Amino acid sequence: MKSERTTAARSMRAVALAITLVSVVTFAAVGYSAYSDFNGFISNFRTGSTGISARTVAQGQAATLYVNATVPNDGLFPLSVSISCTAPPAGVTCTSSSLTIPPSTSGVLRFQISIANVTELQNAAGLHLNGTAVAGLVPFASISITVDLGSFLTGGGS
Amino acid sequence: MIGEKVSLERRVAKASLVAVFNAVLWVLLPSLLGETLSRALPSTPLAIPSFVYAFGAAITALQTVAALTEGMAVSVPFTAGAYVTEAYYIWTATSGGNLALSVSGVSFVIAFAPLVYLMMVPPLFGALRAPITFLLEETEASRPAPDVI
């Protein structure tokens, strides 16, 4: 014989179901948003795209790298993006840039690295400059990527 | 429901299903995922395979005993214990929502603590739900039945 569940048991079950549903919907929305943002970012690298432009200006021993990146936010949540340098060596200056892009819009990230004397820096210990890019789906998740930006300058930018 | 008469056959059948389901969910799938990730990213210290068997076995055992003792008061601590272990398992497997990877000199740090909290809410609520439901049902059962005219 199956006995009747009490009101308390039914209420607790309903709350558990609601919590599970909210979790599933949130995960689905975050997953979709991350996928859309990733696709939008990847489209910047396609042939003929003007989403990301970089140029190096050399004046004597000094060099400056300018990077402009148009970042679209095709997702459902605000997208925060930032780029910065970690502990730049003497003679190197970076301008950090960060912005939060609302959904269905795009923003332009401007980044600049200036080196006073490229030859001196290369002769000393090579140019090693850690750059960190952070992209985050506000407020759920973020990914931070750190890479040696020195090769972009010494290897020659476009 | 506590106090509900459940036949031994039904308990054993349900416990068998629960054991298989939990072994797949908490041992087999994470283990396969951990091995795949370890092969794909050999330079990354992934903690999943080392503790997955202990936690998976603990959750499976607790859930199975809870299913075997269904309808008895003794099932409450097993159910609550299984849920607490699940929550801790999720927290440990995801390093609290902060994963650091390194691939070919490029470092990745993935932070997703709010999503981990969201994953932990259902098991933690389940851990609270088991004893609260038991206490409420006990209170309701001990209340005198209204007179039937």
Tens digit of each residue's pLDDT (9 = 90 or more) over B41-67: 766 655 556 677 888 899 999 999 999
Q: CB-based contact (8 Å) between B20 and chain A?
A: no
Minimal C-alpha gap between B51 and chain A (Å): 25
> Of B58, B101, B113, B108, whose CA–CA distance to B83 is shortest?
B58
Q: CB-based contact (8 Å) between A21 and chain B?
A: no
pLDDT exceeds 70 at position B2? no
B93 with B50: CB under 8 angstroms? no
Give A8's contacts in chain B (Cβ within 8 Å).
132-133, 136-137, 140
Residue B121 belongs to some domain of the structure: yes
Cβ distance of B118 and A146 shorter than 8 Å: no
B85 with B55: CB under 8 angstroms? yes
- Mean per-residue pLDDT over chain B, rounded: 84
B128-143: average pLDDT: 83
Q: CB-based contact (8 Å) between B122 and chain A?
A: yes
Residue B75 belongs to some domain of the structure: yes
User: pLDDT digit string (tens) for B75-113?
Assistant: 999 999 999 999 999 998 888 888 887 777 788 888 999
> Of A90, A83, A151, whose CA–CA distance to A115 is shortest?
A90
Distance CA A13, CA A105 (A): 41
Give B137's contacts in chain A (Cβ within 8 Å).
6, 8-9
Nearest chain B residue (CA) to A144: B109
Supply the ipTM of this predicted assembly. 0.75
Task: List the A92-95 sheet strands across, edge first.
Answer: A52-59, A62-73, A105-115, A92-95
DSSP state of A103: T
Which CATH number is A40-154's, of 3.90.550, 2.60.40, 1.10.3470, 2.115.10? 2.60.40
Tell me which of A37-41, A154-158, B71-75, B143-147 is least confident: A154-158
pLDDT at A1: 43
Domain boundaries, chain A: 40-154
pLDDT at B124: 94
Q: How many domains does chain B have?
A: 1
3-class SS shares of chain A: helix, strand, coil, % to 5: 35, 40, 25
Q: CB-based contact (8 Å) between A24 and chain B?
A: no
Residue B148 belongs to some domain of the structure: no
Nearest residue, CB atoms, B111 vs list A12, A26, A142: A142
pLDDT exceeds 60 at position B136? yes
Residue B33 belongs to some domain of the structure: yes
Distance CA B129, CA A10 (A): 11
Domain with B134, as residue range(s), is 8-142
pLDDT at B147: 65
pLDDT exceeds 50 at position A156? no
**Lookup: tokens for A127:** 């140019």
pLDDT exceeds 90 at position B24? yes
B127 with B83: CB under 8 angstroms? yes
pLDDT at A152: 58
pLDDT at A66: 87
Cβ distance of A3 and B111 shorter than 8 Å: no
A30-40: average pLDDT: 89
Residue B149 belongs to some domain of the structure: no
Task: Evaluate the CA torsion angle B58, B60, B64, B70 in order and state its sign.
Answer: positive
Tell which wins on pLDDT, A151 or B128.
B128
Number of H helices, E strands in chain A: 3, 8
